[in-house]
Amino acid sequence: MTPERYQRIRKMLALRQPDLAVCLEKVHKPHNLAAIMRNCDAVGAHNLHVIWNTRHQIRSGTSVGSQNWLKLHTHADTSSAIDAFNEQNMQILVTHLSDKSVDFRDIDYCRPTAILFGQEKYGATDQALEAAHQHIVIPMQGMVQSLNVSVAGALVLYEAQRQRQQAGLYEKPRLDEAECQRILFEGGYPRLKTLCRVKGLEYPEVDEQGQIRASQSWWQRMREHKGKRTSNLKVI
């Protein structure tokens, strides 16, 4: 990784908002997943939660690499996602039209916040709606009563960004260094990231020049792949 790329990643990480999360409840369409991941990356929402009750994977390249810069949390059901948000004392917002819904712009997004979007056709489940601290709506003046989930996500997230910028929440780094190091290694050295997972190795530190700091034994393990030596890995 070049020093220039290192600095670019560091600049991005300095703007990340670890207490602004998006949760997708059974949203499966690849183009929606891709767009929402781009939305999260664009405004600095670092944590993306997905609820799938069946085995599902985000396709490689679906979001033009946005998934590489987010922290993805997978939940088998809505309860586990809700529990995770409550443990972090986050306000849970669900996009839904009900008697207690409020305009999405009337919410204080400077608080630790999780924004949940339901499945494309049926919306959020009853369980999610009951767990929400607030239902939010995007005012509609036409004949249709809802927007595409990724469009709705963009509107809500950019309102959150606007409020947080005014409050100065983007002015100093808020992501812990351990998470920054994970992103730096995975984003800067994708091939070595894969090998670490295959071999069960811990990620090494990335220094201020974007270079890996690792022991000789770590590099030795990197060179040995499935019983064969890989000679084109350079020790730094």
Residues in binding site for S-adenosyl-L-methionine: 95, 138, 147
d(CA 48, CA 40): 8
70, amino acid identity: L
Residues in binding site: 95, 138, 147
Angle, helices 30-43 vs 149-166, to 10°: value is: 10
8-15, Cβ contacts within 8 angstroms, sequence gap of 24 or more: 9/183, 9/184, 9/187, 9/188, 10/180, 10/184, 12/69, 13/173, 13/175, 13/180, 13/183, 13/184, 14/172, 14/173, 14/175, 15/44, 15/170
d(CA 22, CA 114): 6
